[in-house]
Structure 1
Amino acid sequence: MKAKLADFGLSKAFPTEGGTHISTAVAGTPGYLDPEYYTSNRLTEKSDVYSFGIVLLVVITGQPAITKYDNDNIHISRLVNLKLAEGDINNIVDPRLLGDYDINSAWKAVELAMACVAHTPSRRPTMNEVVMELNDCLVAERARPETKPKKLTGLMSLNLESAYDPSPIL
């Protein structure tokens, strides 16, 4: 339940004086920048799709874009790809959801996110396609039958002890 702020594509929306944008280096959060940038030094709309795909994977899995694993860093797309080979969506989706989600919608969201981070930019969907697919996921999630609330132990780690005492005043 942490808010994410992204600026994908905003450089096109706000031109500098004279109508041009000159940048000597791209600053980006490690793990989110399109790997093609390192070879081409160009950012494209498909670079934005890649970065958004990473945001989707972070939201779906509850994991950071880069994780320390056995004295090495592993990228979230690689981690999800390894878990996809096991074929169990429950090993991919954030365990804090306690399985309270539509399986088909989760699969579709993971497949969409992985399409967004395809190594070949031409194989990535457009943002319009991403929005349509996410809307389909939302429809499926909203259409599933209401389930009884599950035990929320471990779902959120709020530190309310110092600010709120739930015991009654005697």
Structure 2
Amino acid sequence: MVHRDVKSTNILLGEAFEAKLADFGLSRSFLVGGNTHVSTNVAGTIGYLDPEYYQKNWLTEKSDVYSFGIVLLEIITGQPVIEQSREKPYIVEWAKSLLANGDIDSIVDPNLHRGYDKSSSWKALELAMSCINPSSTERPNMTRVAHELNECLEIYENLSKRSQDANSTNSMGHGTSFISDTPSAR
């Protein structure tokens, strides 16, 4: 099944913040067996559409991967997909131009005030860029995308744990943390 309209407004969060994909009105089902694509009229949202699907009317399982890559870019950058006030209005072209400089701080959402792990952020950004490869055959499948996102999370969690461990170690090098009822001075 190909959703055909994966976009940030179609991803809902459950009570435990688990993501749920909504609005299957445009979805298409086709036999995966020997077919690599189906020819169909283009449907979806501008900015999220796979270029191969848009230009050739070829819908593949990797069409949704492209759209998900756009969603990842939105999450990482805090930027809308299309912003006319940017020098490069389309998020893909904007991100590519900033990536050419190799400065992740200019790409990651400025509302994070540089309070993010660069290693996991680079990995997530590289994943997003692989998802939006113009050639569907060069994109990862969603199983690979999920695996790499979990790796990003593991990197972040390991660094957070090490940071917490370092903060709870006193000057003697012991791993004991002390809790006091005495209010601290402000």
TM-score in terms of structure 2 length:
0.65
Distance in structure 2 (CA, Å) of the matches to 1:133 and 1:9: 26
Amino acid at match of 2:10: L
CA shift for structure 1 position 9: 10
Gaps of 5+ in 1: 14-23, 149-170
Q: Which residue of 1 aligns with 2:3?
A: none
Gaps of 5+ in 2: 1-7, 12-20, 30-39, 168-186
Amino acid at match of 1:46: K
Distance in structure 2 (CA, Å) of the matches to 1:125 and 1:25: 24
CA shift for structure 1 position 4: 3.7
Aligned residues: CA RMSD: 2.7
Amino acid at match of 1:56: L
Q: Is the 8 A contact 1:105 1:138 kept in 2?
A: yes
Distance in structure 2 (CA, Å) of the matches to 1:4 and 1:88: 29
1:122 lines up with 2:137 in the alignment: yes
Distance in structure 2 (CA, Å) of the matches to 1:93 and 1:107: 9
Structure number with larger C-alpha Rg: 2
Change over 3 Å in CA distance of 1:118–1:45 after alignment to 2: same
Identity of aligned residues (%): 50
Distance in structure 1 (CA, Å) of the matches to 2:147 and 2:28: 23
Q: Is the 8 A contact 1:49 1:116 kept in 2?
A: yes
Distance in structure 2 (CA, Å) of the matches to 1:67 and 1:131: 28
1:75 lines up with 2:90 in the alignment: yes
Which structure carries more relative contact order (alpha carbon 8 Å, separation 6+)?
A: 1
Distance in structure 2 (CA, Å) of the matches to 1:83 and 1:39: 26
Deviations 1:85-111 (A, max 9, x none): 111111110010111111100000000
Q: Which residue of 2 aligns with 1:55?
A: 71
Number of paired residues? 136
Q: Is the 8 A contact 1:8 1:48 kept in 2?
A: no
1:96 lines up with 2:101 in the alignment: no
